[in-house]
A and B are shown apart, each in its own frame.
Chain A
Amino acid sequence: METLLNYITENEIFIYLLLFTIILGFEVISKVPTILHTPLMSGANAISGIVVLGAIILIRQTDPSNLTILIPASMALFVGSINVFGGFIVTDRMLGMFKKKKKK
């Protein structure tokens, strides 16, 4: 219990941010029409690729001779960035189809 309390105090700002972002996330999505579910899921997926920032920070903090960390970290960056690039482009392609139709 004490450790839990410690955890909360240590990360106080994070926990505030957490709460508000959860509400924000719910609020942003709750009124979306069914036809947008698939593109939206894809778009959200691309955003979850934000994890690559961690990989970049990790690599920048690492001693250039420390290959045991650099190699897996750049792998993490590699796979994560595929998620980012692929995700945004796929979403764009899906949404582009709605657009084309609209013009008619």
Chain B
Amino acid sequence: MFNLVFLLAAFSLVWGLRLQSNPESAKKGNFLASMGMGLAIFATLFFEIKDQSIFNNLIWILVPISLSALIGTYVAKNVQMTSMPQMVSIFNGLGGLSAVLLSFIELYKVSSTNTDTFFSYNITLIMSLFIGSVAFTGSMLAFAKLDGYRWSEKLILPYQHIINIVLLVTIIIFSYLYFINLLDFNYILFILIISLVYGIFFVAPIGGADMPVVISLLNSFTGITAALTGIIFNNNVMLLGGILVGAAGTILTVLMCEAMNRSLLNVLIGGFSASGKSSKKSEDGDIKEISDSDFAVQLFYSSNVIFVPGYGLAVAQAQKICKEIQETLEKNDVEVKYAIHPVAGRMPGHMNVLLAEADVDYSKLIELDEANEKFTSTDVTIVVGANDVVNPDAIDDSSSPLFGMPILKVWESKNVIVLKRSMNPGYAGVQNPLFFKDNSKMYFGDAKDSLQRLSSELKNL
């Protein structure tokens, strides 16, 4: 009976994930997957375990679940759309932590009772402990990098890669010692600590802009630990769900890398390396600022305008005012579009979510290729808090760390106005020659304030 429920649960998880890869059915898919999870939890709560009275310890199960249901729901409902990536990162870290605790407890049981266990059982546990720890500390660091911008720079220790290899080797040695010393639990403690440290070292050299890729990768790590834990507890749904996430997470990671035209290895080694600061020419050009009224007038007499939103718009929560300006302009027969770079915002698809939140019509969003065709016939392109995705060096300068990344060729439009907080370089840490082009003007300030000024200026015309 309960096997049937487990089967149904497994099916719901797979089918749910499948539905989620299509925009039409995605919401249904997520619901189906959550039902599958609910079924699996329910079945696990009540299926018969040998020699066990069925309801014992129920309090130890229901209390944590209800508490986390409350907390999880509250946090998930109240988090800002812009902090979504951070949220996912934290959740993933918690999933990893859960797996770490479980394998740690199992290892403790094995070594304290000194039961005769299979070699493979221990190996599985140690692997789960290791991968879970990396997922946990890695996700937490990824969260810190995304959220506070603290440590968002790449922290590259001297001999970073050698240290990482040494850590890995140490883990293998300790695992070996654990076996020859008759499952001495102290070695497990060492392995745990080193694994946690390794997670930090794994993420530290990767720049903040690449965090989504890292989170996706760590997500697949959590999936793998879940699967390993499934082997330990002899539960096929766990194995299936875990591997599904492991595989899906990996392919998603690769897709994200492709969207940025980088290889996964390149990201992991700390892609935009510090050595790439060879932008020689551009620094000496002059930038031109544009005044509020000039900006408004220029827009007013244009026939078409394209917004290029970036992370600056997202942090400033400026998507609603953006929409307001769009409406004002449309009333005056100005055609408005939004050009969305595949990795605009912090994650692929993040910008679409944010603009959807502000009720921007789906048909107004145009993708990279379409946008690049359109720029030549566009009067004004407004770049709001985007930088690296509009950097001409990606096409012109083969020494630039951005070289090869597909970008929006905004400078091909008649006028470009860049809304930016300051002249600081973007996330990749490279200067942007776009700002010095003849047809581009700067409009400094926080994206929200700037757009607000622009909006009221437009209404006064």
Residue positions of A touching B, CB distance < 8 A? 3, 6-7, 10-11, 14, 17-18, 21-26, 28-62, 64, 68-70, 72-102, 104
Contacts and interface: CB of A to CB of B under 8 A. Distances in A.
A17 B27 CA distance: 28
Interface residues of B, number: 113
Given A48-B241, A104-B362, 19 more contacts: A11-B120, A21-B244, A25-B248, A30-B255, A34-B342, A36-B349, A37-B347, A39-B20, A39-B26, A43-B20, A48-B222, A49-B226, A50-B245, A51-B98, A56-B61, A58-B233, A76-B98, A92-B31, A93-B81
B353 A94 contact: yes
Please provide the 9 A-B residue pairs with the shortest distance between their CB atoms, ordered closest to farther. Answer: A25-B247, A85-B72, A80-B98, A76-B101, A50-B241, A89-B76, A86-B72, A81-B68, A78-B64
Contacts of B239: 14, 17-18, 21
Given A46-B34, A51-B95, A78-B68, A36 B20 contact: yes
A4 B370 CA distance: 53
Given A21-B240, A79-B97, A104-B361, A28 B17 contact: yes
A56 B98 CA distance: 11
Contact of B349 (A25, A37, A91): A37
Nearest to B368: A34
Contacts, number: 373
14 contacts: A17-B243, A25-B245, A36-B21, A43-B29, A44-B219, A46-B37, A49-B95, A50-B13, A53-B233, A54-B238, A58-B102, A79-B101, A85-B76, A98-B27
B120 A55 contact: no
Given A77-B61, A79-B98, A53 B44 contact: yes
B89 to A, nearest CB: 9
Contacts of A70: 57, 60
B237 A74 contact: no
DSSP class of B's interface residues: helix, strand, loop or mixed?
A: helix
Interface in B347-363: 347-350, 352-353, 356-357, 359-362
Interface string B420-439: 00000000000000000000
Contact of B95 (A25, A80, A96): A80
A100 B356 CA distance: 8
A55 B61 CA distance: 9
B259 interface: yes
B99 interface: yes
A27 B211 CA distance: 25
B105 A69 contact: yes
A94 B84 contact: yes
B12 to A, nearest CB: 10
B249 A39 contact: no
Contact of A48 (B72, B104, B118, B226): B226
A30 B18 CA distance: 10
Contacts of B69: 81, 85
Interface of B: 13-14, 16-18, 20-23, 26-27, 29-31, 33-34, 37, 40-41, 44-45, 49, 52, 56-57, 60-61, 63-65, 67-69, 71-73, 75-77, 79, 81, 84-85, 87-88, 91-92, 94-95, 97-99, 101-102, 104-106, 108-109, 118-120, 123, 212, 215-216, 219-220, 222-223, 225-227, 229-233, 235-252, 255-256, 259, 342, 347-350, 352-353, 356-357, 359-362, 367
A45 B349 contact: no
Given A39-B349, A86-B76, A88-B30, A64 B57 contact: yes
Contact of B57 (A11, A38, A60, A92): A60
A87 B168 CA distance: 31
A21 B248 CA distance: 10
Nearest to A76: B101
A102 B231 CA distance: 42
A55 B95 contact: no
Nearest to B98: A80
A37 B252 contact: yes
Given A34-B349, A73-B102, A49 B37 contact: yes
